[in-house]
């Protein structure tokens, strides 16, 4: 009798020829079970991008090099793999957790290499890192992203598995998978999971099906579908949520953002060309996610290759344990599993055989450069968008020529994270007169190709539309607006705010002098009109309608992103007002010789400016003020005159040289500490806007003196022209770095300010008024030193302390002179300075 065991054995032997043998099978370029139809990619040990795939060592070297070369790239080991290997994360962004305004910096996170066989993923995440690093300094959207966001990158999370796939770049097991044995290769090149319970030797059967799918190991949807509970399954979820050290490292990396400032998460995978986005019960978050992924899909489809990604959102409250579900639930941010190309055609999309669906994981080497570069740009577009909506930073109204400033408004940081508008006006806007409106935004607003402004790739032509109008209450005024001209160069005059190309636009406008406008203006008590602005940034964000409350992102929605379009959508800015009139306005007085004077603010007595108007539309200004400890400080600016304003691109501070016989000009050290502008609303007043030492402020001023024989307006003349021409700056070439500015304020009296240093090399200034009637020499019976108030917002004129420093006599002719001084102040000694002319004032002749 044949035993049952023998019958079973005979049956198995008879069937054996029909059972495929479990074996290691290679991917090949030619036909075969795993034929690709294109060369099998082999990783190369190089850090630099090329038309192929880099090894893990090459990628890691690239990451470390970029971190070493750029101070805005920091590297951190956030955990270790099952085999004890380091898992690195990189944080990219300038500054700390706050922007230059002290506002929370938006953060994004991109994770690569979760599934080991998906080589596209680490290359793409590295490509983003390379784009941000290598294109930094573009003064455009890359710099904006670096200034306004923090981007956390994990190029390779599953390091163990990734190394296993590169150890066996063409080999894997077939006929071993628990669900699809004849078509689903496992381990080697096709390893998906980490190495929990697995060795690293492909030739052994130990652990070839072991490991945990790191994209099924996450809360809140763990344990997920039933099949993920099978240990040998390709999607095994692990024994507990976040059981794997790699998952724990991913969670730790989020705190680099930090987590509460996250605005977007994507886990980069391949393949299928799909956004598997996560829906939650937060509909505002879902709407933001939908819009940003539409932006990404449209943009990417416009890039070389024309590859369009499709958004396939999940069902609400359904999940399978992915990292994107964790980030959507934990941080309430738009979150997705981003499946990189190819699409459903797999390798056939590139001319391959496409005879095994898993060839989609093996992108041809000839395609990876395009994929890497295009996706890096699309990811950057998302970062630009999620950095926040655009808002008006500054608006200025000029005459038709653009030379004369008529009105300015700017938003500056205020208390409790708010902003306040600072406005100044020279004269009202007049109906019927042509003007130029210049508006600056907080971000680059336009894209260029071949130097021309064009829609951002994927955006419609209508995205370039911009509206500039005026309203009186609820009534819209008739305005003719010309073609908008975007500025190729970064804006000026935004203080510490970073400046970008195409952040500023100039629009010709004219308030029509028609019957309706005139009736509305004459019927208004205030005659105040509202500037109405509407625009979109490159990716479709409309304006934040109220810059006073900075927009932010929290709990899945934009906060304080105001506008009539609805929550998270923005709208028209109607926050700025200016005076208007139906009458013809008076002409604006340009900066002229008569503006050479001393200027001050009565509420800030003790500090002020000496302005010298020079020939050829140049000027120099000396700002005598104090440091943050109340010691004397002086700053110098060399400027250019434009209409009724003077622009000082640099404010220079000097220090180092010591007063007296030991003065050495080689000891003088200069530093650019800021910039400034002076705008005049006539002959006797205006305002000074400056950025220096962390302050960006506007100070009104009025004339304290006037220069004799240099009137502002018709020149009435004085008989003694020669002596009036002595006004200006003088110095001793042997003691370059210090000097005097003198000003005849009448035929009989001179004002003097001496800009020098104390015995410790600190800046020091001394001021004096001559004895009336003393002309040769000019006698200064009392030279005074001043200290007490502190620089900036806490300036207190009540703290002013004057000290009698000494006396002096000054002899001048048109080219040279002598300054003899005496003092009893400790640390100073008397002496004589032979002088030569340094500046000659415009409008004053000195034969």
Q: Is the dihedral of CA 663, 667, 673, 677 positive or negative?
A: positive
Question: Which pLDDT score, from 0 to 100, does residue 721 have?
Answer: 59
CATH 3.40.630.10 in the chain is located at: 50-172+240-386
Report the SS3 class of residue 594. helix
Examine the pLDDT at 15 and tell me if it is beyond 70.
no
pLDDT tens track for 384-437: 999 999 999 999 999 999 999 999 999 998 888 899 999 999 999 999 999 999
Query: In angstroms, rounded to a whole number, what is the distance separating the alpha carbons of residues 653 and 17?
Result: 90
DSSP state of 731: E
Question: Which pLDDT score, from 0 to 100, does residue 495 have?
Answer: 56
Examine the pLDDT at 494 and tell me if it is beyond 80.
no
Q: What is the mean pLDDT of the chain?
A: 94
Residue 20 — pLDDT band, cuts 50, 70, 90? low
The highest-confidence range among 111-125, 716-730, 833-847, by mean pLDDT, is 111-125
Examine the pLDDT at 694 and tell me if it is beyond 90.
no
Examine the pLDDT at 202 and tell me if it is beyond 90.
yes
State which H helix or E strand residue 164 sits in.
helix 159-167
Q: Are 242 and 311 in contact (CB under 8 A)?
A: no
Question: For residue 336, how many other CB atoms are within 10 A of its CB?
Answer: 29
Q: What is the DSSP string of 41-109?
A: P--BS-SS--SS-B-HHHHHHHHHHHHHH-TTEEEEEEEE-TT--EEEEEEE-SSSSB-TTSPBPEEEE
Mean pLDDT of all residues in 122-144: 98
Question: Which pLDDT score, from 0 to 100, does residue 389 have?
Answer: 98
Question: Which pLDDT score, from 0 to 100, does residue 21 have?
Answer: 76
Question: Which pLDDT score, from 0 to 100, does residue 491 have?
Answer: 79
**Rounded to 5 degrees, what angle do the CA atoms 468, 689, 533 make?**
10
State which H helix or E strand residue 742 sits in.
strand 739-746
Examine the pLDDT at 665 and tell me if it is beyond 60.
yes
pLDDT tens track for 778-824: 999 999 999 999 999 999 999 999 999 999 999 999 899 999 999 99
Examine the pLDDT at 846 and tell me if it is beyond 90.
no
Residues 6+ apart with CB under 8 A from 198: 187, 206, 207, 208, 210, 211
Examine the pLDDT at 201 and tell me if it is beyond 60.
yes
Q: Are 349 and 342 in contact (CB under 8 A)?
A: yes
Residue 654 — pLDDT band, cuts 50, 70, 90? very high
Examine the pLDDT at 6 and tell me if it is beyond 50.
no
Structure-block tokens of residue 774: 């003393």
% of the chain beyond a pLDDT of 70: 96
pLDDT tens track for 30-60: 999 999 999 999 999 999 999 999 999 999 9
Which residue has tokens 């030279």? 783
State which H helix or E strand residue 716 sits in.
none
Mean pLDDT of all residues in 346-365: 96
Query: In angstroms, rounded to a whole number, what is the distance separating the alpha carbons of residues 195 and 207?
Result: 8
Mean pLDDT of all residues in 523-529: 88
Question: Which pLDDT score, from 0 to 100, does residue 555 have?
Answer: 94
Examine the pLDDT at 718 and tell me if it is beyond 60.
no
Mean pLDDT of all residues in 248-255: 98
Examine the pLDDT at 716 and tell me if it is beyond 80.
no
| Rg (alpha carbons) of the chain, rounded to whole number | 36
Query: In angstroms, rounded to a whole number, what is the distance separating the alpha carbons of residues 638 and 648?
Result: 6
Question: Which pLDDT score, from 0 to 100, does residue 10 have?
Answer: 30
Q: Are 358 and 185 in contact (CB under 8 A)?
A: yes
Structure-block tokens of residue 639: 């400027």
pLDDT tens track for 276-285: 999 999 999 9
Query: In angstroms, rounded to a whole number, what is the distance separating the alpha carbons of residues 199 and 570?
Result: 55
Structure-block tokens of residue 477: 């005024």
State which H helix or E strand residue 521 sits in.
helix 515-522
Report the SS3 class of residue 584. coil
Question: Which pLDDT score, from 0 to 100, does residue 496 have?
Answer: 64
Please, which residues bridge with residue 651 across strands?
Answer: 637, 674
pLDDT tens track for 325-348: 999 999 999 999 999 999 999 999
Among the listed residues 536, 440, 449, the one whose alpha carbon sits nearest the alpha carbon of residue 486: 440
pLDDT tens track for 168-185: 999 999 999 999 999 999
Question: Which pLDDT score, from 0 to 100, does residue 51 have?
Answer: 98
Mean pLDDT of all residues in 735-749: 95
Residues belonging to the active site: 339
Question: Which pLDDT score, from 0 to 100, does residue 513 have?
Answer: 94
CATH code assigned to 50-172+240-386? 3.40.630.10
Among the listed residues 736, 723, 735, 829, the one whose alpha carbon sits nearest the alpha carbon of residue 770: 723
């Amino acid at each position: 009798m044949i035993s049952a065991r023998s019958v079973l054995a005979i049956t198995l032997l008879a069937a054996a020829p029909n059972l495929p043998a479990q074996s290691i099978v290679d991917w090949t370029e030619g036909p075969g079970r795993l034929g690709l139809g294109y060369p099998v990619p082999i990783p190369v040990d190089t850090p630099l991008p090329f038309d192929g795939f880099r090894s893990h060592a090459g990628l890691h070297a690239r990451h470390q090099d970029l971190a070493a070369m750029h101070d805005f790239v920091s590297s951190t080991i956030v955990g270790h793999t099952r085999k004890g290997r380091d898992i690195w994360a990189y944080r990219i962004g300038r500054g700390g957790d706050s922007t230059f305004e002290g506002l929370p910096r938006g953060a994004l996170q991109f994770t690569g290499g979760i599934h080991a066989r998906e080589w596209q993923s680490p290359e793409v995440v590295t490509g983003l890192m390379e784009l941000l690093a290598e294109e930094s300094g573009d003064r455009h959207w890359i710099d904006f992203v670096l200034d306004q966001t923090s981007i956390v990158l994990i190029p390779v999370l599953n390091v163990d598995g990734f190394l296993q796939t590169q150890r066996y770049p063409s080999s894997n097991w077939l006929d071993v998978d628990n669900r699809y044995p004849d078509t689903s290769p496992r381990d080697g090149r096709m390893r998906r999971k980490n190495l929990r319970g697995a060795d690293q030797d492909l030739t052994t059967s130990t652990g070839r099906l072991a490991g945990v799918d790191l994209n099924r190991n996450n809360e809140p949807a763990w344990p997920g579908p039933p099949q993920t509970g099978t240990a040998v399954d390709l999607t095994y979820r692990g024994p507990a949520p976040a059981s794997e050290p790699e998952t724990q490292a991913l969670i730790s990396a989020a705190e680099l953002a930090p987590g509460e400032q996250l605005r977007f998460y994507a886990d980069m995978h391949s393949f299928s060309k799909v956004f598997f986005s996560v829906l939650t019960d937060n509909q505002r978050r879902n709407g933001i996610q939908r819009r940003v992924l539409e932006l990404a899909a449209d943009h990417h489809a416009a890039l070389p290759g024309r590859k369009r990604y499709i958004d396939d959102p999940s069902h609400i409250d359904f999940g399978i344990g992915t990292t994107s579900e964790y980030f959507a639930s934990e941080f309430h941010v738009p979150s997705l599993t981003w499946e990189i190309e190819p699409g459903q055609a797999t390798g056939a999309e590139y001319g391959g055989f496409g005879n095994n669906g898993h060839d989609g994981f093996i992108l041809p080497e000839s395609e990876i450069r395009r994929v890497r570069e295009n996706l890096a740009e699309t990811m950057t577009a998302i970062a630009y968008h999620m950095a926040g909506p655009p808002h008006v930073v500054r608006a200025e109204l000029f005459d038709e020529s653009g030379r004369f400033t008529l009105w300015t408004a700017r938003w500056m940081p205020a208390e409790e994270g708010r902003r306040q508008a600072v406005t100044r006006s020279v004269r009202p806007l007049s109906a019927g007169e042509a003007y130029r409106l210049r508006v600056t935004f907080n971000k680059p607003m336009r894209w260029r190709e071949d130097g021309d402004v064009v829609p951002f790739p994927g955006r419609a032509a209508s995205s370039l539309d911009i509206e500039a109008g005026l309203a009186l209450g609820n009534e819209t005024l008739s305005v003719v607006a010309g073609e908008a001209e975007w500025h190729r160069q970064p804006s000026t005059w935004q203080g510490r705010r970073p400046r970008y190309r195409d952040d500023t636009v100039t629009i010709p406008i004219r308030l029509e002098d028609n019957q309706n406008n005139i009736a509305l203006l004459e019927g208004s008590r205030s005659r105040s009109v509202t500037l109405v602005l509407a625009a979109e940034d490159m990716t479709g964000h409309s304006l934040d309608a109220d810059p006073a409350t900075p927009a932010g992102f929290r709990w899945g929605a934009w906060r304080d992103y105001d506008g009539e379009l609805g929550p998270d959508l923005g709208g028209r800015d109607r926050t700025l007002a200016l005076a208007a009139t139906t009458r013809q306005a008076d002409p604006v007085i340009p900066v002229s010789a008569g503006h050479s004077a001393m200027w001050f603010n009565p509420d800030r007595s003790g500090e002020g400016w000496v302005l010298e108007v020079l020939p050829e539309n140049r000027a120099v200004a000396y700002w005598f003020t104090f440091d943050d400890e109340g010691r004397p400080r002086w700053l110098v600016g060399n400027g250019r005159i434009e209409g009724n304003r003077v622009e000082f691109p640099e404010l220079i501070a000097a220090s180092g040289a010591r007063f007296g016989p030991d003065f050495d000009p080689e000891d003088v050290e200069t530093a650019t500490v800021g910039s400034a502008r002076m705008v005049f609303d006539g002959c006797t007043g205006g305002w000074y806007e400056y950025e220096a030492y962390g302050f960006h402020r506007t100070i009104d001023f009025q004339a304290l003196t006037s220069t004799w024989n240099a009137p502002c307006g018709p020149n009435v003349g004085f008989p003694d022209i020669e002596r009036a021409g002595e006004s200006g700056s003088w110095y001793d070439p042997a003691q370059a770095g210090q000097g005097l500015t003198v000003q005849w304020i009448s035929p009989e009296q001179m004002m003097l300010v001496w800009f020098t240093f104390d015995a410790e090399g600190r800046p020091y200034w001394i001021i004096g008024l001559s004895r009336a009637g003393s002309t040769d020499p000019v006698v200064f019976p009392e030279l005074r030193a001043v200290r007490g108030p502190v620089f900036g917002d806490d300036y207190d004129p009540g703290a002013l302390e004057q000290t009698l420093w000494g006396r002096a006599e000054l002899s001048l002719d048109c080219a040279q002179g002598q300054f003899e001084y005496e003092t009893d102040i400790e640390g100073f000694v008397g002496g004589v300075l032979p002088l030569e002319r340094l500046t000659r004032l415009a409008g004053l002749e000195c034969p």
